[in-house]
Structures are given as structure tokens and as C-alpha cells.
Structure 1
Amino acid sequence: MTTITPHLTTLPNGLRVVAVEMPHLNSAEIAVYLKVGGRHDSRDKAGLAHFLEHMIFRGNAEHPSSLELEADFEAIGGCINAATDAETTCYYTRVHPSHVAEGLRLLSVMLLSPALSGIEIEKKIITEEALEDINEQGEEVNPDNLASRLLWPGHGIGMPTIGYLDTIAGLTEEDLRDHMARHYVPENAVVVAAGQISPDEVFTAVSHAFAGWSGSSPPCQEPVCENQEAPGAIFVKDSDSQVNLQIAFRSFPRQDGRLAAARLMRRILTGGGCSRLHLSLRERLGIVYSVDAQLAAYDDTGCFAIELATAPENLSVAVAEVLRETLRLATEPVGENELGRVRQGYFFDLDYSRDSTFDMQVRYGWGELMEMMRSIEEDQAEAGAVDAAAVMATARELFSPARLNLVAVGPVKAAVKREIAAIIKRYEADFRELS
């Protein structure tokens, strides 16, 4: 099995650089990570981090518009992209191994000399994107955004990363440049290259491209105050044939050791055709097409969210089945065969990631940024140490009713809401019996 080892250096200006050699491949992935995202926006500037990410593409000192920028990346085998989430912003592309240095230079031109022109056009584009999450009455219908509002009320991490219609409309060039001055600084960034690369050549290329980057230390982020004591629920009426359901449990911070068990629990519940909720909701009851779970971990909080869509008349049954399975994990040890199968599937996925330049730049680039750089072997060892007792203990904590938040978007009748309230009450009573 190929062992992948990252090489690290830090430039005099504080910029960290990670080079991940994967000589068995024929491509390279390069990226710049910044530790700034939606949680760093204030309410009146919600969406600022995401808006700036878009504006970086609208020309710079070398490229009058996005067309010339895209053409230069395409000429070296790339397709520049970016993403903003709650805590990070990333600019990334695949490039041909022979053009890694040029790709890194183009990234530096984007980030260090943006024109920030065409703000009003970009507002229209992002407004259209935001409208996808709003119904005819102007209400939020994105279950992720609604769940975040329940999980972290009044905090930036609980706001939609894209912002709100009023905040998007109010953003100015001054806001963008102030945001860049505070957060787009070397100390707050990591440059990474993974694939068929030479670490020394990467370090030299980054040093040349980013040597002129400077800035003060980034501001401290506001911590999350977690004070939920009882289940929460939001029902939003929407004219759809199905109800989109999300049951989101407030989970653990990024450094919490219980995440290893939580990763396996996600697979036990929704990790394929043999998973518990797939067998229950689809194969036995036939009330969903698919069911999935997502595990998010941040600096000081997290979320374990189970998501599905079902017909309105099946909603209460779906809620009952999901909570039956979370309660079961908290009260019954997982069988060794089931746990072993799930663990082995996780090991296989980790091994598959050795063939992906994208996965490796995320693992080691994002990992360095968040002080979570871990090898595949470390992840495998951690998961290998998780036994049935650890799964049950973690489930008792994670799936506690005091961590539960339910979001349902669609045509939900009052009688169904009452049924769901009764189901949650029974769930609370069942959990009280555990203590």
C-alpha cells in the first residue's frame, strides 16, 4: 500500500505550504485555503465571505475579466473553482503536473490583485442563487439553513453562508476590501499541491508567487454558546408533493475523540444498501427513495444530520423510524459483524482516497489550516479502536433529546405536527429511562 507523506514549510511572511507527493499519478491538484467563512460574518454583512469568493473571479491585475482568467487556467489543464463554508474559503484546480508553478502563480494573481469590479452584476447572480432557498412567501425552505438556525441561534455559524437578500444587496467594495485586509492574510492561509509534484519545486514556486503577500494577524472568531436544553422544531409550509425532513443533532467539535465513533454510526444508519435506515425506510416501508446522513465538525461545535424526503402522509412514520434507530444505537450494542462490515467499508474508502489528488489536498491542506493534519493510517487506527461499547456510549450522548432539532419543509398538516410532537415526547421519555 502506498504511504503518502506530506512535506511542509512556512514562508517568512507566515504562509504555510504543504506538498504531497503522489508520483504514481498523472495529475496535480493545487489550492489555497483561508480560515474564514460564514461564521465570521456579522448579521448585517451576512454572506460577505461568500460574496468575496465570487468577486475574486471577476478580473485582476493580469486578467480584465473572468474569461481571460478561465482561459489561462484551461491552458495548463485546469478549471478554477472555489467554495465557501462555515469556517473556510478555498480556491482550487487540477492542473497538469508540468504546469504546477504557473498554476500557483495564477492563484496568487487572483488573490493578491483582485479588481473587485462588477459588484452589481454579481449581486444579481448571487441573489438568484439565494432565491432558490426561498418560497413564494419569502420564507427560508433550505433544511440545512433552517437546522443551522435551530442549532446555533444568533451566531454567525447559524446564518446561511450565502447571506440574506437584504445583506447581499447592501454589500460594497469597501466591505470586500476590509474583509480581505482582515482575513486574507498569510497567517490565515495554507497553499497546498498534491499529485505528481516535487516538494522543493512547489516551495520555490509558492515563495516566488506569494512572497509579497503581507498582513496582520486575523481577528479572533466568536465562540459558539451552546445552551439547548430541549428538542427544537421548525415546520415551513411549501407547495411540494413531498416533505423534506432533516433531523439534526448537535454534535462534537473537530478535536473531539468521539467523532471516530460518530463516523461509523453515520455508516451504520445510512451508509449503503445494508444500512439500518435504508433497510427500514426504503426496503421495509417503501416510504423514501433515499436517506442520507451528514457529519459536520467545527472548531467548537458540530452537527449530525439525517436527511430524507417523503410523502406528507408518511412523515410521522419516517420521524418515528429515524428516532427508533438512534435510540437503538444508544441502548443496544452493535453486533460485531455489522460493526466490522461498516469499519471495513470505511477502511476501503480511505484507501481509495490514495488515488485522488483532490482528496489528498483536502486531507493535508485543509488539515494543516484547521490544525487537524492526519494520515490515512492514523484515521484507520482510530476507527479500528472503536468497539460496540464506544458506539453505544457516543450514541447516548449524541442522540440525546436535548441535542435534537427537527426541520420539515412541505405540506405538513396540523394533525401530523401533533403526531410528531408526541413521537418526540416518547423519545424524551425513553431517554430518561437510560439515566
Structure 2
Amino acid sequence: MIVAPRQTILANGLRVIAVEMPHLHSAEVALYIRAGGRNDLPEKAGLAHFLEHMLFRGTAEHPTNLELEAAFEAIGGAVNAATDAESTCYYSRIHPDHLPEAVRLLSVMLLSPTFAGIDIEKRIITEEALEDINERGEEINPDNLASRLLWPDHPLGMPTIGFLETIAGFTESDLRDYLGRHYVPGNAVLVAAGRLAAGELFAAAATAFATWQGPLPLPGSPAPAGQTAPQALFVKDADSQINLQIAFRGFARDDRRNPAARLLRRLLSGGGCSRLHLSLRERLGIVYSVDAQLASYDETGCFSVDLATAPENLIVAVREVLREVRLLTQEPVDAEELERVKQGYFFDLAYSRDSTFDMQVRYGWGELMGMVKSIEEDRAEAAAVTPALIREVAGQLFAPAGLNLVAVGPLTARLKKEVTGMLDSYAADCR
């Protein structure tokens, strides 16, 4: 069965999307805001994430977070939220019979927060932030460190959670100002997927969000793109392993090369038959797991490989990752291997038809970012990728000018020197 969303736009500009899946017994409702970490000012780093947490601490109708949680549980829900670089999402699975109440509860969260318990939430977020800091106060999260290399002196290069000093300085005025500037209907999408009727959703949204008003916020500054050579960042930390991330500058969200990049990720780290898994784990036995991720933003992106290994294995691990990515730029992928990877992707697309969460993300987040694509469109784009295109895109994606390496752990001067030399050799070999 092909899932086709239905959409309306309320008078205030709020887009509402219904994904009707009548064969299911549940529904998922989500509200997306097109604002995240990159919308924070440097002196207010982490504010988007902090506001997301604060909306759970009570409303005019539910003075405590316990009462708010109980209200969602009463309709079969468990409300949650997430903040990333460019968006914030509030979502919950619910019983389909209670869709209007779920929409109303989301509106109550956004339109009437009390911002009670700011100091308590600061302590909670501080504990979360401390997980990424060592005993000397140094950042040890490879994702955050790689972002700093990729986008220096820009909000994309700051941790979404913020810094200890910025978290400590947040005020109710900061929260209300951010809420007023970014949480406006034209900057949001309400979506529901599951056993529901589109008309019921549209009517519930029109009632619940009728008073929501506000102008669109100004766009943020573009990310820097001035890197011309490989970069490395080493942080010494007391651990038994070294956490390694090798990150390449990727493509913007609407870039035509992304379908090939998605398949490149699966070729390198898409299961037990992927190249890095076979090389690093099955052949060499130097990692428990290795993962590759692809992130795309408005004007930039990142392709990263993450692993942890013992210090004595670091050089081999770096060499193998660089060897595998360089091989993809030099030799066409075997047609049979590419077809196997495509089939795995096609299966995942098919499975997503059964997921209310996947459907609300596809059509809700997709609408928010101007990137709505059906499963059929995604499948067709992947099917059209050839071995020659994989090689071409790999050559652009894995160019040495966009290479960034982060290593955190019990590092020595010798290891740093050898790793830096390997980056130089990679750049020389790719000329």
C-alpha cells in the first residue's frame, strides 16, 4: 500500500500533515520547529536544547512535569523531544481515539509554559554536559570536536547542549525571547501518522493552535567552507581505548549526490557484510564495532566514521579506514556488491511503511526542511546509482581537503606524529 500524506495550512501559517495508515492500531503525533543548535548565539550556546527541556517542566494547565507526563499517559502516550542542529521535535505515540487531545496537549506545552524549575533543569543539563568533559575540563566527545574542526567559530561547530558557562547563565528572559522568535507557526509543522482521519487532525489543529502567532525568524549565518587540507585534533584522556572519528566535509541537504553518499555509507558500514566491519572487526579483530554516519544541513554536511580501539591498534585502524575510502575513489564498486547494498536499503524503505514514527519523520521533518520525498522517489534515486557514480561521488566526498580526524584517549607524542603523517600521505596519494 502506498502511503500518501494529506496537508493543510492554517490561517496562521502552521502546516499540518496527516499520514493515514488505517490498518494500524496506534498513531504518532509530532510538532517540528525549524530551530536548533545553529540558531543559538555563541554566548547562548545550548539555549535551543535547554528550552526543549524546559517545556516539559510545567504549563498553565499542568503546573508540574509529573502532571504533564500523566496527561499524555492517560491517552496512551509518552511525550518526548529532541533537539539537533537545525530542528527541534516534540513527539509521542498515542492511542488513535485520543488524537485531538494529543494535539491540544502539544499546543499547551508551547503556548503556556511556566518555566518553573530553571535552576533544577540547569543542574540536570549540567550533569548531561559533564559526560562530554574530562577531569581537566576538556571536551572529549568526538562529534563535538569534529564539528569544531569542520565549522570553526560558527554555531554548527558548537555542541548542541552548550557549554557549562552558557548553561549556567540562562534566564527566563532568554527562554521567552527564543520562544517568541523561533517558535512561530510559519516555522513549524504538525504531523500525525497512523490510524487517523485527516479531517479530525486538521480540525483539532485549527482549534488548539488558533491563537498562535508570530513572524518568521531571520535566517542564520552560513557555515564556513574554507578548509583546504587535512586537519587533526588530539585530546589526551584517561581511558583504556582511543575514540576515533574520521570526518569528511559532506553535501548540503538538497545536493544531487546524496543518494550515492547514502549508499557509500552502507558500503562502508551497513551491516555484517560492509567493508569496514569485515576489515576492522572480522579480519583484524581490532574493534568491537565501527559506524558511519551521514549528516546534511542547509548548505553543508558531514560524512563520519566512528570507532574505538586500543592505543596499540590506532595506527592500523586509521590506515584501514583511509585505505577503504581511498579504494572507493580509485576502483569501481563491484556491481553485485552495489546491488546487495541497494537491496538492503530497499528493504529498510519497505519496513518503514509499517512505522508511524518513520512516516511522521519522512513527511513532517521532510516538509519542515523542504525535502519531502516519497518512498518510491527515494527508491528510484537509489536504483539509478551506478558503480561509476559511486566512484565519482566518493572522489568528491573523500577528498583530502575535507578530511578531519579526532582522536581522544591515552595518546602519546609518537601516535600523534604517526597519525599526522598518515594524513599527509593520504593527501599526497590523492593528488
Give the TM interval when normalised to the shorter protein: over 0.9
Structure 1: distance between partners of 2:430 and 2:17: 46
Structure 2: distance between partners of 1:103 and 1:263: 34
Amino acid at match of 1:310: T
Deviation for aligned residue 1:225:
2.0
Tell me which residue corresponds to 1:279: 278
3-state DSSP class of the match of 1:295? Answer: strand
Tell me which residue corresponds to 1:170: 169
Structure 1: distance between partners of 2:58 and 2:334: 57
1:289-317 CA-to-partner distances (Å, cap 9, x unmatched) read 00000000001100000000000010011
Tell me which residue corresponds to 2:31: 32
Q: What are the within-5 Å matches in structure 2 for residues 395-406 of structure 1?
A: 395-406=394-405
Amino acid at match of 2:230: P
Q: What are the within-5 Å matches in structure 2 for residues 408-423 of structure 1?
A: 408-423=407-422
Tell me which residue corresponds to 2:373: 374
Tell me which residue corresponds to 1:246: 245
Amino acid at match of 2:91: Y
3-state DSSP class of the match of 2:430? Answer: helix
Amino acid at match of 2:134: N
Amino acid at match of 1:236: V
1:40-90 CA-to-partner distances (Å, cap 9, x unmatched) read 001100000000000000100100100000001000000000000000000
Q: What are the within-5 Å matches in structure 2 for residues 180-219 of structure 1?
A: 180-219=179-218
TM-score by length of 2: 0.99
Amino acid at match of 2:208: A
Amino acid at match of 1:366: W
Structure 2: distance between partners of 1:273 and 1:15: 43
3-state DSSP class of the match of 2:51? Answer: helix
Tell me which residue corresponds to 2:148: 149
3-state DSSP class of the match of 1:18? Answer: strand
Structure 1: distance between partners of 2:105 and 2:40: 27
1:208-264 CA-to-partner distances (Å, cap 9, x unmatched) read 100110011212111112100011111001110000000000100000010100000
Amino acid at match of 1:71: A
Structure 2: distance between partners of 1:402 and 1:87: 25
Tell me which residue corresponds to 1:50: 49
On the 8 A contact 1:9/1:18 being kept in 2, the answer is: yes
Amino acid at match of 1:295: L
Structure 1: distance between partners of 2:137 and 2:423: 29
Structure 2: distance between partners of 1:173 and 1:356: 37
Deviation for aligned residue 1:327:
0.2
Amino acid at match of 1:316: I
Deviates more, 1:408-417 or 1:88-97: 408-417
Structure 1: distance between partners of 2:60 and 2:416: 56
Is 1:230 the equivalent of 2:244? Answer: no
Deviation for aligned residue 1:122:
0.6
Deviation for aligned residue 1:8:
0.7
- The number of equivalent residue pairs is 431
Tell me which residue corresponds to 2:328: 329
Is 1:17 the equivalent of 2:36? Answer: no
Structure 1: distance between partners of 2:98 and 2:272: 42
3-state DSSP class of the match of 1:355? Answer: coil
Deviation for aligned residue 1:358:
0.3
Structure 2: distance between partners of 1:406 and 1:198: 49
On the 8 A contact 2:152/2:224 being kept in 1, the answer is: no
On the 8 A contact 2:52/2:83 being kept in 1, the answer is: yes
Structure 1: distance between partners of 2:224 and 2:151: 8
Tell me which residue corresponds to 1:128: 127
On the 8 A contact 1:281/1:318 being kept in 2, the answer is: yes
Amino acid at match of 1:303: C
Structure 2: distance between partners of 1:120 and 1:242: 36
Amino acid at match of 1:99: H
Structure 1: distance between partners of 2:415 and 2:130: 28
Structure 1: distance between partners of 2:161 and 2:403: 25
Tell me which residue corresponds to 1:394: 393
Structure 2: distance between partners of 1:9 and 1:246: 43
Structure 2: distance between partners of 1:405 and 1:218: 33
Tell me which residue corresponds to 2:40: 41
On the 8 A contact 2:17/2:191 being kept in 1, the answer is: yes
3-state DSSP class of the match of 1:299? Answer: coil
1:111-133 CA-to-partner distances (Å, cap 9, x unmatched) read 10000111111100000000000
On the 8 A contact 2:230/2:424 being kept in 1, the answer is: no
3-state DSSP class of the match of 2:17? Answer: strand
On the 8 A contact 1:187/1:218 being kept in 2, the answer is: no
On the 8 A contact 2:280/2:320 being kept in 1, the answer is: yes
Amino acid at match of 1:147: A
Amino acid at match of 2:180: A
Amino acid at match of 2:178: H
Structure 1: distance between partners of 2:219 and 2:258: 25
Amino acid at match of 1:394: V
Tell me which residue corresponds to 1:107: 106
Structure 1: distance between partners of 2:217 and 2:358: 27
Tell me which residue corresponds to 2:424: 425
Tell me which residue corresponds to 2:266: 267
Tell me which residue corresponds to 2:90: 91
3-state DSSP class of the match of 1:235? Answer: strand
Amino acid at match of 1:318: A
Deviates more, 1:367-376 or 1:219-228: 219-228
Structure 2: distance between partners of 1:177 and 1:422: 50
3-state DSSP class of the match of 2:329? Answer: helix
Please list every run of 5 or more consecutive structure 2 residues that lacks an aligned counterpart in the other structure: none
Structure 2: distance between partners of 1:226 and 1:345: 34
Amino acid at match of 2:395: R
Runs of 4+ in 1 over 4 A off after TM superposition: none
Please list every run of 5 or more consecutive structure 1 residues that lacks an aligned counterpart in the other structure: none
Structure 1: distance between partners of 2:37 and 2:387: 36
Amino acid at match of 2:336: N
